[in-house]
Amino acid sequence: MNELLISLNRLTPGSTAKVVQLRAVGSTRRRLLDLGLVAGTPVESLRKSPSGDPTAYQIRGAVIALRSEEAEKILVEPAYLT
């Protein structure tokens, strides 16, 4: 595994990254793909909810809230590493 990749839930608010791989399976994988989370998609972490979960992300022009357990199944390459 590439050590430069992190899970999406580790991306700090205000940071951007590029989707590299989905580790989700089944209906969760289908939902993430339907949201446009395919390899090469840019993602920006916008803000965390007051309780810390879920987090809002800008994905293909839409703001999507993902829970931490969903976001941890998305591997991304942070923009500062590209």
Residues in the chain, how many? Answer: 82
Residue 16 is part of which domain span? 6-81
Q: How confident is the model at residue 14 (pLDDT cuts 50, 70, 90)?
A: very high
pLDDT, one tens digit per residue, over 24-71 is: 999 999 999 999 999 999 999 999 988 889 999 999 999 999 999 999
Looking at residue 67, which CATH number applies to its domain?
2.30.30.90
The Cα-based distances of 81 to 18, 23, 57 in angstroms read 10, 21, 19
Instruction: Give domain status of residue 16, yes or no.
Output: yes
- Total domains in the chain come to 1
- One DSSP character per residue, 25-61 reads -HHHHHHHHHTT--TT-EEEEEEE-TTS-SEEEEETT
Q: Is residue 1 part of a domain?
A: no
